[in-house]
Each structure stands twice: as structure tokens, then as C-alpha cells.
Chains A and B, each alone.
Chain A
Amino acid sequence: MEARERTYARRWMLAVALGVAGLFCVVAAKLVKLHLIDPSAPGYRAPTNYVSTYRLLGLRGRILDRNGVALAESLSGRVVYVDQNDPKLKALSEERRAELPLELAKLLGVSQEKMLDAFNGYHTYRGRRVTSRKVCEISDDAVIRELARRSSLSTPKSERIAGVDFSQPLAVRSHPNGARLGHTLGYINNDGVGVYGVEQRFDSHLSGKDGTIVTMVDARRREIRDRRLEENPPVHGDDVTLTIDNNIQYIIESALSKALERFQADSGIILVQRVRTGEILGMATLPGFDPQEYGSFPQEQWKNIAVSRNYEPGSVMKAVTVAMALEYGIITERTPFDVGQKGYWVYAGKPLRDHAYGIVHAKEILARSSNIGTAMIGLRMAEPCPRLGATKPNELLWRAFRAMGFGQTTGIELVGEEAGILRHFSQWDKLSPTRMPIGQGISVTAVQLCNAYATIANGGVRMRPTILKEIRAHDGTLVRDNPPEVLGRPLSPEVCRKMLLMLQAVTDRSQGGTAGKAALRSYTVAGKTGTGQIPVNGSYNHSDYNASFVGIYPASAPELVILVTIERPKGPYRMGGSVAAPTFADVAEEIGHYLGIPADKFPKEGA
């Protein structure tokens, strides 16, 4: 090899090696810059997108009926948004984009107009055009899976879904029975807080607490399992079991809705209470209210009128008056009253209308629903009675109403309970002791009234009406029990026995009873009708009534009290005996058999 060739090659080698070395030097400078200089520059921020927080839904507890049937439950679902600016949407063909909203509307169960509007319309918020909109919430796993499958890029473009974001988890409150028992349950507002009913009353028990997972994620936002930073498990809410029986609720709600239609009434209440424990087995209030769609009902319809409406009950109060008069020894069953033959009775300058019965005995007063007779009992009770420690006029009568639970809340576990209106006896006028005993000038709630009858049925022991059976944590441990609670013993068993016999005559037409239509085939019924006038602009009229019937059965061994109140029936029938009594009979017979209450009445042979 010639030296010239060698030198030539070496020169080139040197040049190229130096060139490569130069490149290495540039790389070294860049390395120092990237590693050391950039991160120490002011304003440098290390990337933070490696960490992501996932929300774990803490589900709200269920509300169950006494047999464990779910009345309200939370399901984990997703919020669905439509985003018109989704870049994946632009990848689709024109025709596909046109048919997409209609297809989604069908899949998600949303109206086509709403979906088309979400995809094409827009609104402005603070001067900005908003093109992303919430369309619905879904809890059906199959739908969520379908959305996920069809949104993936591996789905052919002709079937692919785009422009829809359903990543945000959400608990959806589901009511399997729709509007049934809606007033008692209450609803969940947009902040997830219970409003009205059981949802509000037991919100602290029911509400769950969301958990979180803080974790490192890869570039596709997927969790890196072995690099989870923090884990706070969700806490699910407690399950609240009610005393309500879903089947009884169904029976009374459908009967009530039929009655409202038949008698063209505005609203109605049916309560079913167990005598011995005070448990409410059914609470129907119509017009109804669907907790899931509360926004589409007028706001005055959201309240539970069984506990939060005061009304003048009318003649159903007479039983309370008579019972207390017997208890205080003011009268006996045989005490006679001359109600006259004129058909009215003037006291304190005001006439009181009534049937003309002549002489009636105390025990007939209830069966015939004598206004004058009851008013006379009221007057006797209004006299001061030092024997019982009532030194002032009216005091004893006031105490009698208080003892039976009027003028005070019962303590039922529902929000917005009213106390009724029972003015203090010092504020009464001269007419009060003649009108209050027949249910005028005194306002009550349906729950108070039902409970007063339950007291009579229960041998004088007044139980606290209750809707709560128990509360259990998500894992089943008992959090709160609710044993029956005695509020007082206003009546003796002896008086109650007599009262039941008297009230039984009400449903017996042969004894002149006003509620023959409340008689049952299999059970004897002790009850009382009432046709309370509704004051309109401060005075009574002859068209606005509350038609009521409260029945205790079986009268020989009371199990249940059922209260029926129909407000403002507008048909030909408007009286308690012709409107509420038959509705009572409709439901009472069925519920008696459903609960297996032994019959105490047998059809006569050959009948």
C-alpha cells in the first residue's frame, strides 16, 4: 500500500471522525440543557398528567318495604352528554351524522327532538356558544356496554357512535313502582340530597360517601395497577326499611284513584295503620307524584297531605268526644239527651242543624251521628270539673283533645308534619265547645285522626304512629331499630270496649247507622263517618266537603284502622257515608284477607 493512499484515507477518516465527534458534542450540549438547564429555569413545570383521580360511587341506601321489596334504590349509571365538537364526529360521513341522533334517541330512550336539538342546536351562556349538553342519565348496563362498544374505533364507521360522552359516573335513583308511595318517599334533588318524605328525614343515613382512587395513569388514561397512590373505598348508604307493605300500598292507591274518578274529587287520603304497634302499613295520597320526574309535577303536589295538611274533620271527631266523656265519667252509655223535634238547636244565638230524633241516648249518638247530642256532651265537658283538676271553663274538653293527640305532632318519621290547629281553651269563644266536638273549628291531620281511632281500638293505649321499621347498614348490620312506642293511655280498656260496640252500630243499618256501605262480608267493622265542611273565604257552604270514614276491624279483636278522606267530591254523592265508606269497604276486605286476619263474621245460612 502506497503511503500516499494511506495519508489520503487517514485524512478523510480524521475529517469524518471529527465530524461525528462534533455531532456528539452538540448532543452533549443538548443533553445538559434538557437534563439540567431546562428544569431549573423559572416557570418550569413538571408534567402533572401522570396522576388521575377516579371517583368511586358511594351509592345511596335503598328504601325497602316491610317485606324487603325495594321502593327506591340507587343504581350506578352514567351521565350522557352530547358534544358537537367531538373530533371523532367529524370523521363520520355526512349521512352517518344525520342518522346518528335518531339512532341514539332510540338507544337511550330520549325523544328525537331533544336529541336532534342537542346535536344541532346551541345556546349561549355568558356570551359563549355552548355546544355540549347533558341529554340524560342511564343506569342500564346493557346500554352502557352498547355505547362503549359502538363508540370504539374498531367499530365500522357506518355503525360507529361519536359525539357522545358518557364517562362520568353517576348514581341514578330508581323507583321500581314509579309514582307509587311517591309522597312518602320524597325525591332526590340535583345535588343528590333527599327532599321531602323518607329521603329527607333519613338523608344522613341514606346518603353514601363517594370514594376515590388516585393513581398513576398511562398516556391512554388507563390505570397502572401497581402504581396506585391512594385508595379511599366508597361508603354506601344505609338501607331504610319502612313499615309500608308494598302490596297494601298497591291496593289502596288503586282503590283511591278509582274513588277520586268515580266521585270527581280533588284529592284523597287512605291510611292503613296497625292497631297494636302504630305502624303505618299503607299511606296513599292522591293526586300522586313521581319522585323520578318531580320537576314535571306542580310544586303544591309534592307535599304529603296525610301529614302536612290540616283540615276540619267533621263528624269523625264525635267518637273522640264521646270516648273522652265516658272516660271522664261525664256521661254513661245510657245518659239521655233531648235533641228536640225541630231539626235545629239554637245556642249562643247560632242554630245548629240536625236530624230531629227527640230523646237519644249517648250510645245512639254515634250511630245516628247526632250533631246536637254531641254538642250537648261538649257543653257538659266544657264546665269546670274540680274533681279532675280542671278549674277553668273549657279546660277539660281541651285536655280531652290533647290527650287523644290533637294539636300536637304525632312524631311520625316524615318531614313537614303539621300539628293540626287546636287553640288554647283560653282563646275559645262561646260556640267552640258545641262545634269542636263535632269536628268544626278544630283542624287535624289524617295521621292524627287515624291514630286517635287506633288508640280506641288498642284499649286506650296511644301508640306513636310510625313508618320506620329499621335501618340497616349496607353490610346488613342493624343501625337503628324502631320498637313500638307508647305515647300515653288516655282511655281505659273498659271505655274502649264500649266505644267499639257503639262504633260498630255505625256500620249496621238495622241500628240506624250512617255507614251501612262500610260493612264487610268477613269482618265486623267499628267506624265513624264524617262530612266536614271546608271553610271557603271564612264561611262554610253546601258544596265543599271532606267526606271521611275511619274504620276499625275486626271489631271483636281490632287489628287495623283504615282512614279514608276524599276532598271535595263533586258528583251526586258527597257524604262520608256514601263516598268514603264504600271506598273503605273496597280496600278493607281485601287487606284483611291479604294479611290473613281471621274473619269474625260469617254469612247467615241460606243468605
Chain B
Amino acid sequence: MLKFCVRMVMMLTFAMAAFGLLIVSYAGKSQGQGPYHFFIMQAAFLVAGLIAAAVICRVDYRFFRNPAILWTLGAVMVVALLMVLTPGIGKSVKGSHRWIALGPINVQPVEFVKVGMVVFLSAYLERLGGMVNRFRQGFLIPVGLLGVVAGLLVLQPDFGGTAVVCFLSGLMLLMGGVGVRKCLALAVLGLLAIGLLVLTNENRMRRLMNEKEGENYQAQQSEIAFRNGGMFGVGLGEGMQKEHYLPECHTDFVFAVIGEDLGLVATGAVWTAFVLLLGCGTVIAFRARDKQGMLLAFGATMVLCAQGAANMAVVTHVFPTKGLALPFFSYGGSCLLASFCAVGLLLGVGRVTLEEEASPESAAKRLLSLD
């Protein structure tokens, strides 16, 4: 069962990444960047992602329990987010400071912070062990780090990213045994912060009160794309909504392009893939030998599937429009690379679990496995 799930996750990843590359190269065609720009960029990150996943799945996740590694990871996340906000290093597009310019490519740290928080919190809570009930260690320190990270994200501003990071971190704390009451308090705190942010900004206030304006255009165009697609779609690359009728069609709304070009057959396939990924990831998490493995596997699954579900809900206009990428499909190197990292972590947990079940002693002794 576990073996099947690990293989399934691998296959699903390959399939989705390949299909995503195909779709992105068509969806980006009309964005004025030349016919092959999106294909080349996405393909490069796909190769990088495959290498990253292959390396990460061979790292024993218990390696992250090392306090030096753990706190270095935490520090790197904070520093990366600070760099984004530093003039000269950070790069802003349309008023949002979300990128670090690295030569020809721009890195979006929030995508890695999502995975990083899962890695950090799973390892931290494992280290804590019985001290998880203490207020300072079990609540103040992790929530403090989360507060710093979330604060830096809000400053970008990136509310979608903040929400995902908070959701994932909250989930980690809840499963890690911090306690329902403390988590509820945290949720109340978060809601208060959101309320404060909305109230202090006229623009956000208007958007919340009157959903019909502006953003709804995107949702309506997205719905039109699905309707155009019907059962089998209008043909790959033939869909018209991508001709600027549907803004951001190659990034956040790529799912609508799949719907228009290839119909319910393709959107159904993508949907099935994500549901299967959710199932397999949950099984891997269930079977993990320790708390860290469980949290890490489930967190990684959530990075992929919760985001996927939220994106699909936005694109099909179940949720109001929010900027969220569809893992493996949306154009964006950082997101693709981070998604592969998540898959690598998930597979790593599965691999360690399988090895431990086969020979518990030998595997337990090795901290770093590079066989």
C-alpha cells in the first residue's frame, strides 16, 4: 500500500509537470513574450525541480532535527523575506515587493517559505517532545516566528501567501499537539489582524464590501472559458479566452485555459490527479514512524493539494478571487521548484518509512542517508 502510494506520487508528479508544461506554453502564447519564452522558462525550472526532488527524497528527514540546521532554516526564511523588502535586491511588480532579482531570474521566496515552515515546524515540534504543552516553547516561539514571517509577507503585500503560510503553520501546531485552545486563540489573533488590516485600508475595505467590481470580471471570464470548453474543449491552443479576455491566464487562471482548450476531460483528469495526490500523501503521512514524519508528509501534501483545491475553487468561482497558483500548472519557476521540493519531502518520508519497516535497526542509526 505504502509502496504503491510512493510510486503513485512519483507518477502523478511527472504527469502533472509534463502536462503543465504543455499547457503553460500554449497559455502564454499571447502574452507578448514570444512563442517559446514560457516553454523555455518553465522547462528549465522543471528540470531544476526534478533534480531538487531527487536529491531531497534521498535526504533522511530526521536530518532537519539538528538544531543548527533547524535554526539556520528559520533564519534563512526571515532573511529572504527581508531581502525582498530591501530596495536594490527586491523587485517590485505592480506595487508588490515579492521577488528577489537573481540575474535573469526572479525568485519568489514565499513559495519556499510555505515548504520551509512545514519543514521547520515538523522538526521543531518533534524536538519539543513532551515540552509541547509549555507556553513558551510550545506556543510563544513557533507563533513568534510565524508572526515575523506573516508580518513580512503582509508588508510585501501578499495576503494570499500569508493565508497559506498561516493555514499550514496552524495545521502543524494543531497536529503537533499544541492544543485546540491555543490554536483557537491563534486563529482569533489572526482574524483580529486581518480585521485591522482591512479597516486601515480603504481599498481593501471596498473590495471586501463590493465583490462585484473589477475582480469579478476575472471570475466571469474564467467561467466563460469553462463553458466554451464543454466536454472535450475547443482544441489545444484554440481557446480565445487566453487572448487577454482572461487576465493572468497563464499563471493563477491556467486551470480555466485547460478547461477551454481541452474540456471537462482534461479538467477532470487534473482534478483526479490532485485528489489521488491528496489520498496518497495522506496515506504516507499516516504510515510515518514518528511525529515529524507525519507532520512533514501531511504538510507537504497540503502545500500541494490544499493550494490546488483553493486555486480550483477560485478559478471555478466557488471562492472569491485571490492570487493563488495551481502547483505544477501555473507558470512560475519558484512555485514549480517549491512544489518539487514538497514532493521530494513527501517521497523522502515514504522512503524512510519503507526502509524502517524493512530493517528498523540499521535505518534508525543513520541520520543522513545517501545510498
* A5 and B177 within 8 A (CB): yes
Interface residues in B16-72 by Cβ distance below 8 A to A read 30
* A9 and B227 within 8 A (CB): no
Smallest Cβ-Cβ distance to B260: which chain A residue: A35
* A32 and B264 within 8 A (CB): yes
When distances are taken between beta carbons in the complex, the residues of chain A under 8 Å from B226 are 31, 34-35, 38
Closest chain A CB from B177 CB (angstroms):
6
* A125: interface (CB < 8 Å): no
When distances are taken between beta carbons in the complex, the residues of chain B under 8 Å from A46 are 227-228
* B349: interface (CB < 8 Å): no
Bound Cα distance from A370 to B229, whole angstroms: 97
Closest chain B CB from A27 CB (angstroms):
4
Q: Hey, what's the 0/1 contact readout for A24-56 against B, CB within 8 Å counting as 1?
A: 101110111011101100001011001000000
Tell me which of A12, A26, A50 contacts B174 (CB under 8 A): A12
Interface secondary structure of A, over-half rule: helix
* A9 and B177 within 8 A (CB): yes
* B278 and A35 within 8 A (CB): no
* B310: interface (CB < 8 Å): yes
B contact residues, total (Cβ < 8 Å): 48
Q: Report if A13-B271 is in contact (Cβ < 8 Å); known contacts: A35-B230, A38-B227, A219-B245.
A: no
Bound Cα distance from A97 to B203, whole angstroms: 28
Smallest Cβ-Cβ distance to B297: which chain A residue: A13
Closest chain B CB from A333 CB (angstroms):
90
* B161: interface (CB < 8 Å): no
* B312 and A24 within 8 A (CB): yes
* A20 and B278 within 8 A (CB): yes
* A16: interface (CB < 8 Å): yes
Q: Report if A31-B267 is in contact (Cβ < 8 Å); known contacts: A20-B302, A220-B244.
A: yes
Bound Cα distance from A8 to B310, whole angstroms: 26
When distances are taken between beta carbons in the complex, the residues of chain B under 8 Å from A219 are 243-245
Smallest Cβ-Cβ distance to B319: which chain A residue: A23
* A23 and B317 within 8 A (CB): no
* B290 and A1 within 8 A (CB): yes
Bound Cα distance from A10 to B175, whole angstroms: 8
Smallest Cβ-Cβ distance to A25: which chain B residue: B275
* A224: interface (CB < 8 Å): yes
Counting chain A CB atoms within 10 Å of each CB, the highest count among B240, B259, B263 belongs to B240
Smallest Cβ-Cβ distance to B294: which chain A residue: A9
Smallest Cβ-Cβ distance to A14: which chain B residue: B282
Bound Cα distance from A220 to B30, whole angstroms: 12
Interface residues in A108-122 by Cβ distance below 8 A to B read none
Bound Cα distance from A24 to B309, whole angstroms: 6
Tell me which of A36, A44, A216 contacts B264 (CB under 8 A): A36
A-B contact sample (9 more), CB < 8 A, given A12-B175, A14-B282: A5-B291, A8-B175, A8-B177, A9-B291, A31-B264, A35-B226, A35-B230, A50-B243, A218-B30
Query: Would you mind naming 21 contact pairs between A and B with Cβ atoms under 8 Å apart?
Result: A8-B175, A13-B282, A13-B285, A13-B294, A13-B298, A16-B298, A24-B275, A24-B312, A27-B309, A27-B316, A31-B271, A31-B312, A34-B226, A35-B259, A36-B231, A39-B227, A39-B230, A47-B228, A47-B240, A220-B244, A224-B243
Which are the 8 A-B pairs with shortest beta-carbon distances?
Answer: A34-B226, A218-B243, A219-B244, A35-B264, A30-B316, A219-B245, A23-B309, A27-B312
